[in-house]
Chains A and B, each alone.
Chain A
C-alpha cells in the first residue's frame, strides 16, 4: 500500500538557496500529512483506550495510511472498529478485510442488526429505509463495551456546515452528544484531550483536508481503494435526480425507472443512503479531473441522508453521530 519511490510532479520538498540562506519547503499535501500524523500521535500520547472508526470508505482508508506513517514499525496503539449496518457494498467489505489482513492490525466489528435485536429498536420503513440513525446506538454501545476514551474518525470540515465548526479534539458527553456552544477553544497546535470518566473524545485528524486533497493524496501515495470508486456498470434506480444502486435493501415500486449505467461512487456509505454519479472515470487522474470540474458538493451529490433538513448533520451530531 505504501510505495515510497513514487515522486509525482507536485511532490516538491525543495531545498533551495535564496540570498545565501538554505531553507526548506513542505508542499501542501506534506503539510496536511504532517499535521494529521501529529494529531494521531497526540491521541496515542493522551489516551488509554483509543479506537479508529473504520468504514471502508476512502477517508478512513487514508486515515489508516496516515496511522501507518505515524506508528510504524510499531503496532497501532488502537484497534480498527467497524460499525456494520449490514447495508454495505460488498466491495467495501472486501477491501476492508484485505487491508486489515495486509497491515496485520486488529479489527473489531459490531453489527447494527444485533443492536436492533437486543434493544428492540424500530427500523425505518419506506423506500430507502436506512440504518444510518440506528448505527449511533451500536457505536455508543461499542464505546461502552470497550471503554474507548477516544474515537478517531475521518470527518472533514469541508464536508458540511456543522462539521466546519467542530474541533479536531471534540469532547462528547456520556451520551455521545456534541454541544456546539460548549466547545473548548483549540489553540496553537495544542490539543486538550482531558475528559471525565464516561466521556469520550472524537478526534478528526483530516479536519483540514478537502475532498480534492484526499484524492491527490491517494494518487501520490498510490493508495488502493475499493473498486466502486471507479467507473463500472451497475443497475441503478433513478430517483429525484439521484442514482441509487438496486439491492435487497431498497424497495422497488411499480413505475420505478431502473437501468444499467456506467457509474462511480464519490462517497461510500450504506447502500441505502449513498448515491452514485454517472462517470467514465476508471482511474484516479480522470476522477480528479471530474472532481475539479464538478459543480456539486460531495455530500450534496451523493448523500441521501443529508437532505432531510437544513440542519440534518447538526442534529445527528448532537445526538452522538459521528
Chain B
C-alpha cells in the first residue's frame, strides 16, 4: 500500500466538489454522522437532495458566502492505496490555490464540462499543471448525462484536449467520461458508456504508477538539524538529521557538503535509531560522516559524482501570492528546503499569460496570481537543481521579511 496525492482542478460549476464528495461517498469514507450533518445543511438550504458538495465546504465563513476560500485536504483509502486530496477552490485566487495544492501532488484531475468542451479555464488549469511539472494528468469529462452520454461529444473533447496537451508537453494523460452527480464511472465502470474502453476513475487513481516519480539518481540530503547528545557515553556523537529528498545514500559513499564543497565519506546511516546500510528517498534519516567538518542546517549533502548547481544568480518562474505587488529591487527571503537566504529581485523579464502561455512584456509590478519570470540574486550561493529536472530541489518560496508571510512560489529554471 502506498500514497497518491492529487489535486482536483475546476470550479464549483464543473462539479468539482460533487466529484470529491462522490469519491468519498462511494468509497465509503463518509461516516453516518457526517452524512447526517450535510443532510441537515441540505435541508436548511431547502433544495431537497443531499448536496455532496457540502462535504468539502468546511468553514462556516465559506458556507455563508457559498464559496471555498482555501485549500482543504481530504483523505480516503482503498485496500491498495491511501489518497490525499488537495481540494483547491476556484474563483479569483485560483492560480495561487492551485499552485499551492499542486506543489505537493503527484496527479491532477482536470474537470471539463462536457457541454462546454475545452474552455479557457481548462487551458489555464493545464498550463499551471505543466508549469508545475505534474507527473500525471486525468482529464475527467463531466456532466456526460447532460449530453446524452454521447460518444462523439467525448471524442471531440479528447481531440481538442490532446492538442493542448501536446503544446504543453503534458505527459501520462488519462481521459475518462463521467457523471459525478450520478456516480457514473467514478468507482465502478458505468453501463452508460458502453463505447468507453478505459477504467473507472477510482481504478485509474489506484493504478497510476507513482513510485517511478521519485528520482533515485540525483542524491540530495538537506540537513535540517544536527544531533549532538554531548553526554559522557555519546561524547563524540554527531549526526546530521534530515530527509533524503531524492536518490540513494550508502555507507562508504564519497560526499560533498554544498554550497561550500567540503568532502568526506558517509560512515554511518541511522533510521529511527537503527543502523542501516543505505537510505533512499523519501526516508528521514541521520547521516554520519567520517571527518569532523563544518556542516549545519541548510547545507545539502550530495555525492561527489553528482553535484547540484551552486549559484547566487537565479532564473526563476514565480507565482505571486501576495496582495502587495512584486517590483524589481524588492528584497525578500528565499527558502529552499531548510536553507534561507536574503534575495533581491533584479529584473522582471516577462509575464506569462496563463490563458495562452504567451509571454507578455514585463509589467512594472506583478500582482496577486501573476506568473512571471524574474532574475533573482541571493546574498550567498545556494545549491539547487532545475525544477524541471528535480522538483524537490528546484521549488522554493519567497518570504516577505516584514510580514513573514509566504508571498511567492518559485520554480528555479
Contacts and interface: CB of A to CB of B under 8 A. Distances in A.
B220 interface: no
A70 B270 CA distance: 10
Contacts of B242: 38, 41
A73 B233 CA distance: 11
Contacts, number: 186
Interface string B272-303: 11100000111110000000000001000000
A210 B406 contact: no
Interface string B112-134: 00000000000000000000000
Given A2-B272, A73-B237, A183 B282 contact: no
A30 B283 contact: yes
Contacts of B61: 180-181, 314
A157 B321 contact: no
A45 B223 CA distance: 10
B75 A165 contact: no
A311 B243 CA distance: 37
A44 B242 CA distance: 11
A187 B274 contact: no
B70 interface: yes
A17 to B, nearest CB: 13
Given A42-B338, A69-B272, A157-B75, A188 B397 contact: yes
B225 A208 contact: no
Interface string B62-102: 00000001111111010001101000000000001001100
A183 B97 CA distance: 11
B3 interface: yes
Given A31-B2, A38-B224, A74-B228, A188 B234 contact: no
A45 B338 contact: yes
A230 to B, nearest CB: 22
A38 B274 CA distance: 17
A121 interface: no
Question: DSSP class of B's interface residues: helix, strand, loop or mixed?
Answer: mixed
A162 B59 CA distance: 6
B392 interface: yes
Interface stretch (A20-28, A126-134, A136-144, A278-286): A20-28
A44 to B, nearest CB: 5
A300 B33 CA distance: 6
Given A187-B406, A190-B337, A192-B404, A41 B103 contact: no
Interface string A154-192: 000110011011000001000000001101111111101
A238 B3 CA distance: 40
Interface string B239-258: 10111010010000000000
A185 B31 contact: no
A180 B397 contact: no
Contacts of B96: 185
Question: DSSP class of A's interface residues: helix, strand, loop or mixed?
Answer: loop
Interface string A294-314: 111100110000000011001
B404 A73 contact: no
A22 B392 CA distance: 21
In which size bucket is the chain A interface? Answer: 35 or more
Interface in A1-52: 2, 4, 10, 23-28, 30-35, 37-38, 41-42, 44-45
Given A73-B273, A184-B406, A165 B34 contact: no
Given A23-B211, A165-B72, A189-B392, A297 B31 contact: yes
B404 A180 contact: no
B404 A24 contact: no
B198 interface: no
Contacts of B74: 164
Most buried by A among B241, B248, B396: B241
Nearest to B280: A24
Interface in B324-376: 333, 335-338
A181 B3 CA distance: 29
Contacts of A30: 283
A71 interface: yes
Contacts of B71: 165
B399 interface: yes
Contacts of B338: 42, 45
A297 B34 contact: yes
Contact of A310 (B41, B227, B283, B336): B41
A223 to B, nearest CB: 13
A28 B297 contact: no
Contact of B31 (A75, A165, A196, A295): A295
Most buried by A among B84, B283, B392: B283
Nearest to B338: A45
B343 to A, nearest CB: 14
B71 to A, nearest CB: 7
Contacts of B211: 23, 25
Interface in A209-240: 210, 212-213
A27 B2 contact: yes
A222 to B, nearest CB: 13
Nearest to A168: B73
A41 B284 contact: yes
A185 B82 contact: no
Interface of A: 2, 4, 10, 23-28, 30-35, 37-38, 41-42, 44-45, 68-75, 77, 157-158, 161-162, 164-165, 171, 180-181, 183-190, 192, 194-196, 207-208, 210, 212-213, 294-297, 300-301, 310-311, 314
Given A73-B273, A187-B409, 17 more contacts: A4-B274, A24-B216, A27-B2, A28-B82, A34-B282, A34-B283, A37-B284, A70-B241, A73-B229, A74-B227, A161-B72, A162-B59, A164-B72, A164-B73, A186-B406, A187-B397, A192-B404
10 contacts: A4-B273, A26-B280, A32-B3, A71-B227, A171-B404, A181-B69, A184-B406, A190-B336, A192-B335, A192-B397
